[in-house]
Amino acid sequence: MDYSIFRVIKEALNNHKGWGPAWRNPTPKPHYDIVIVGGGGHGLATAFYLASRYGVRNIAVLEKGWLGGGNVGRNTTIVRSNYMLPGNEPFYELSMKLWEGLEQELNYNAMVSQRGVLNLCHSDAQRDAFRRRGNAMLLQGADAELLDAEDVRKLYPYLNFDDARFPILGGLLQRRGGTVRHDAVAWGYARAADQLGVDIIQNCEVLDFRIENGQVSGLETSRGFIGANKVGTAVAGSSSRLLSKAGIRLPIESHVLQAFVSEGLKPVIPGVITFGAGHFYLSQSDKGGLVFGGDIDGYNTYAQRGNMPVVEDVCEGAMGLMPMLGRARMLRGWGGIMDMSMDGSPFIDRTDIKGLFFNGGWCYGGFKATPASGLCFAHLLATGTSHEVAAQMRLDRFARGAMIDEKGQGAQPNLH
Ligand SMILES: Cc1cc2nc3c(=O)[nH]c(=O)nc-3n(C[C@H](O)[C@H](O)[C@H](O)COP(=O)(O)OP(=O)(O)OC[C@H]3O[C@@H](n4cnc5c(N)ncnc54)[C@H](O)[C@@H]3O)c2cc1C
């Protein structure tokens, strides 16, 4: 069923009785050409691009819970391509371009809103670093503007400019960055993949891999054995647990990241703002709630809930940046499990087991990567070679000393 203005009008006149389910609920087949484990944004996008761009149709996506129940439905919806390193920036810029055409490609309203992402700077050294990053972005074909304090004041006059421990000196603005409704991304990819014949199987947990003579031949699942020529895993925070079943130890730690929403307010924040002197970021949803978050909790866990000290830390960041936020009431908060890699950058790679491919290590920045991650993982699964923009996202980069340490933080997953 195609979605269009004519369809909406027709259904409005018909008491909305003609809408069908957005995707089927198929029984798993005994065997598929490719099985994707994980029905988050990355798994669903991979299945969609495999079917739409590489012509592979005999595909299943296995999801242990429901679509949108993982990080794809828990994130703070920010998309941007403001990276610096050559191993990252072309990949994230490809993702931005795919976001820009996504709703037409999927025939689904994902509420892509290019409202601008502004990173604030609070010292001369930080401004220099932003200038350098902005130049790197421009060289890769992305957009970037360096703002001074007066420019920022015109956009956000109510920020804490002068009477602050960290005065705002300016910021790096990417106008094409913004927000996308997160769960609609999962639903849009699922619907489009389903229309191309992909079987999306919910409530189907992968429990183990069947590996014969160094080659994967299928998966033991909570709904029985499912055979596959190739398996791609995209399970975000569950990566190390799942891959350990295949005897693979990943350079990844899992940490919880929390996010929060305030009560609904009249429109006050037009874009996305990040505080440069602490870890705090903020935007306003279309329903009016302020959506904000900060640092990960900082110790390893698989729990999808957070702890109070981080709530306090995030609220301190909020008050430091924008004191009037102290008058808004917090409505709710939640947590998701982050697959934090040792250098803060992701992996899209084959493993040493034939037919088993891995997508993960997205840290807390994988939502913006969803389209490019899906496309590059589909490319790898279909062709056996890395997509050119993901060529450095290899599992052996630590052994080769070829880290992609965007933040220059070193092997400190909790600080990336
Ligand atoms: C609070 C928070 C805020 C964030 N904010 C942003 C942001 O603003 N911008 C940004 O770019 N990124 C952000 N992120 C990160 C982003 O959400 C993730 O990096 C990204 O969603 C991960 O990819 P995914 O969508 O495929 O993951 P998920 O949606 O988590 O998908 C993985 C799926 O695998 C399933 N699974 C796990 N194990 C198994 C198994 N054994 N068998 C079958 N299925 C299994 C899970 O149930 C899950 O549905 C944020 C994350 C959180 C938690």
Nearest to 255 by CA among 306, 299, 314: 299
- Collapse the DSSP code of 59 into the 3-class scheme (helix H, G, I; strand E, B; otherwise coil) and give the result: strand
From 71, 88, 291, give the residue whose CB has the most ligand 1 atoms within 8 Å, as the site to mutate.
Answer: 71
For residue 334, the tally of other CB atoms under 10 A from its CB is: 15
- How far is ligand 1, taken at its centre, from the CA of residue 214, in Å? 29
Residue 155 has pLDDT above 80, yes or no: yes
From 75, 113, 255, 362, give the residue whose CB has the most ligand 1 atoms within 8 Å, as the site to mutate.
Answer: 75
Residue whose Cα lies nearest atom 35 of ligand 1: it is 38
Residue 281 φ/ψ, nearest 5 degrees: -145, 155
For residue 220, the tally of other CB atoms under 10 A from its CB is: 15
| Predicted local distance difference test score (pLDDT) of residue 227 | 98
- Collapse the DSSP code of 162 into the 3-class scheme (helix H, G, I; strand E, B; otherwise coil) and give the result: coil
The domains of the chain are located at 24-81+83-108+182-250+343-415, 117-180+254-341
| Predicted local distance difference test score (pLDDT) of residue 3 | 93
Residues of the chain above pLDDT 70, percent? 100
- How far is ligand 1, taken at its centre, from the CA of residue 89, in Å? 21
Binding site membership of 236 for ligand 1 (Cβ less than 6 Å): yes
Average pLDDT over residues 368-391: 98
Nearest to 72 by CA among 219, 235, 212: 235
pLDDT band for position 64 (50/70/90)? very high
Residue 408 has pLDDT above 80, yes or no: yes
Residue 5 has pLDDT above 80, yes or no: yes
Q: Ligand 1 atom closest to Cα of 42?
A: 26
- How far is ligand 1, taken at its centre, from the CA of residue 237, in Å? 7
Distances (CA, A) of 96 to 39, 179, 388, 406: 22, 11, 16, 18
- How far is ligand 1, taken at its centre, from the CA of residue 314, in Å? 21
Binding site membership of 205 for ligand 1 (Cβ less than 6 Å): yes
Question: Cα dihedral sign for 342, 377, 74, 264?
Answer: positive
Binding site membership of 42 for ligand 1 (Cβ less than 6 Å): yes
Binding site membership of 364 for ligand 1 (Cβ less than 6 Å): yes
| Predicted local distance difference test score (pLDDT) of residue 127 | 97
| Predicted local distance difference test score (pLDDT) of residue 400 | 96
> How far, in Å, CA of 326 to CA of 133, rounded?
32
> How far, in Å, CA of 118 to CA of 146, rounded?
10
| Predicted local distance difference test score (pLDDT) of residue 416 | 80
Binding site membership of 70 for ligand 1 (Cβ less than 6 Å): yes
Binding site membership of 68 for ligand 1 (Cβ less than 6 Å): no
- How far is ligand 1, taken at its centre, from the CA of residue 52, in Å? 23
- Written as six digits, the tokens of 329 are 């009431």
pLDDT band for position 128 (50/70/90)? very high
Orientation of helix 370-383 relative to helix 89-106, angle to 10° = 100
For domain 24-81+83-108+182-250+343-415, is the CATH number 3.50.50.60? yes
Query: Please, are residues 171 and 117 in contact by the beta-carbon 8 Å criterion?
Result: no
Question: Tens digits of per-residue pLDDT, 140-154?
Answer: 999 999 999 999 999
| Predicted local distance difference test score (pLDDT) of residue 175 | 98
For domain 117-180+254-341, is the CATH number 3.30.9.10? yes
307-310: which pairs have CB atoms within 8 A and are 24 or more residues apart? 307/256, 310/258
Average pLDDT over residues 380-397: 98
- Collapse the DSSP code of 381 into the 3-class scheme (helix H, G, I; strand E, B; otherwise coil) and give the result: helix
Query: Please, are residues 394 and 401 in contact by the beta-carbon 8 Å criterion?
Result: no
Secondary structure (DSSP) of 304-372: S---HHHHHHHHHHHHHH-GGGGGSPEEEEEEEEEEEESSS--EEEE-SSBTEEEEE--TT--STTHHH
Residue whose Cα lies nearest atom 51 of ligand 1: it is 75
- How far is ligand 1, taken at its centre, from the CA of residue 331, in Å? 22
Exposure class string for 41-70: b at 16+ Cβ within 10 A, else e: bbbbbbbbbbbbeeebebbbbbbbeebbbb
Average pLDDT over residues 303-309: 90
| Predicted local distance difference test score (pLDDT) of residue 415 | 80
Average pLDDT over residues 388-402: 97
| Predicted local distance difference test score (pLDDT) of residue 410 | 85
- Collapse the DSSP code of 388 into the 3-class scheme (helix H, G, I; strand E, B; otherwise coil) and give the result: helix
From 364, 370, 416, give the residue whose CB has the most ligand 1 atoms within 8 Å, as the site to mutate.
Answer: 364
| Predicted local distance difference test score (pLDDT) of residue 55 | 97
Binding site membership of 366 for ligand 1 (Cβ less than 6 Å): yes
| Predicted local distance difference test score (pLDDT) of residue 305 | 86
Binding site membership of 147 for ligand 1 (Cβ less than 6 Å): no
Average pLDDT over residues 399-406: 95
DSSP 247: T
pLDDT band for position 287 (50/70/90)? very high
Rounded to 5°, the CA angle 389-392-395 comes to 130
- How far is ligand 1, taken at its centre, from the CA of residue 47, in Å? 16
Average pLDDT, rounded, for the chain? 96
Q: Ligand 1 atom closest to Cα of 80?
A: 11
| Predicted local distance difference test score (pLDDT) of residue 162 | 80
Residues with Cβ within 8 Å of residue 407, at least 6 apart in sequence: 344, 415, 416
**Bridge pairing between strands 289-300 and 252-264:** antiparallel
Question: Tens digits of per-residue pLDDT, 195-242?
Answer: 999 999 999 999 999 999 999 999 999 999 999 999 999 999 999 999
State which H helix or E strand residue 79 sits in.
Answer: strand 78-79
Question: Tens digits of per-residue pLDDT, 336-368?
Answer: 999 999 999 999 999 999 999 999 999 999 999
- How far is ligand 1, taken at its centre, from the CA of residue 236, in Å? 5
6-15, 190-199, 405-414: least confident range: 405-414
> How far, in Å, CA of 37 to CA of 74, rounded?
19
Residue 1 has pLDDT above 80, yes or no: no
pLDDT band for position 409 (50/70/90)? confident
> How far, in Å, CA of 209 to CA of 356, rounded?
9
pLDDT band for position 135 (50/70/90)? very high
Average pLDDT over residues 80-96: 97
Binding site membership of 69 for ligand 1 (Cβ less than 6 Å): yes
Residue 304 has pLDDT above 90, yes or no: no
- How far is ligand 1, taken at its centre, from the CA of residue 64, in Å? 13
